[in-house]
Amino acid sequence: MLFAHLFVPLQSEKQTIMPIRVPEKLPAIELLKEEGILLPPPAPDSKVLRIAVLNLMPKKIETETDLIRLLSASPLSLELHLMKLRSHVCKNTPAEHMEAFYRNFEDMHAEQFDGFIITGAPVEHLEFEQVNYWPELSDIFDWARTHVTSTLFICWAAQAGLYYHYGIRKYPLPEKMFGIFQQTPLLPKLPIFRGFDDVFPMPHSRHTEIRKEDILRVPELTLLVESEQSGVSMVMAREGKEFYITGHSEYSPWRLDTEYKRDLGKGLPIKMPLNYYRDNNPEKGPLVTWRAHGNLLFQNWIKYYVLT
């Protein structure tokens, strides 16, 4: 597969540029160029960290863009590999896109990766075993433990991974956890929190939760972040080889707005996202408060847990 190079411009052109390599002609390239993430000359030879992404979100291009935006800020050289499931056909992304930029898990399972990101999926209303791709996803969970240095499980994937590996249940919420909520790191001296403030904001968008008491009963799990409003937000296992994040630090500024207006348009019982709009007025747009810590979270993960 051919790769293009992306980088975040630095203040001095003389500084070393360490880009992220992404599949050539990926639509995210043009979207990110509009934000000032540009195409440079080929990077000098260096260690390239291979990052795989299993993108389970319906709108693949949006999620790709959100993740590449954060990964491209790394001072290290990364290479992105997009994974898909043979047992599930995406209905919201063109088949041509999936064919051009994604590979089936079975075509990647012999490879080793430094980092692995598994996204959320809109299947919270189902029991895990009822999800049509659960058997293949279970195989991927097992594979990651022998072929990946460190894995990030995001939102539903965090719940799924905790259930598969540790038997942690998910519970339905009386209403959607929707908005930006303040988080408290419980072990602030861990490298994953290097440079973090005492509290930090994180977007959440989910209908289910995992519970603190269930996490604390499993000695292999370490509760890292919790919130008075959004509950358990981050769990670590295997000394940082696995991170389970129930929120969305990767979300772009308008993602919650898009979800809110989508659900309103469908006539679903949705409340306005909390702590999100300026003056709580959707007409004024979002007040973005989470991007700095989102970038820091991903950079710390790459630097201290992916790079070995």
Q: Which residues are catalytic?
A: 155, 248, 250
| Six token digits for residue 144 | 């990651």
Question: What's the CA gap between 26 and 9, in Å, rounded?
Answer: 20
Q: How far is 5 from 147, CA to CA, in rounded Å? A: 25
Can you say how many angstroms the Cα of residue 99 is from the centroid of all Cα atoms in its chain?
Answer: 22
Is the separation of the CB atoms in 58 and 93 below 8 Å?
A: yes
Q: Give the C-alpha separation, 294 to 70, whole Å.
A: 8
Q: Tokens 């051009």 sit at which residue? A: 100
Q: Are strands 171-185 and 148-154 parallel, antiparallel or unpaired?
A: unpaired
Per-residue b/e over 190-229, b at no fewer than 16 CB within 10 Å? Answer: bebbeebeeebbbbbbbbbbbeeebbeebeebbbbbbbee
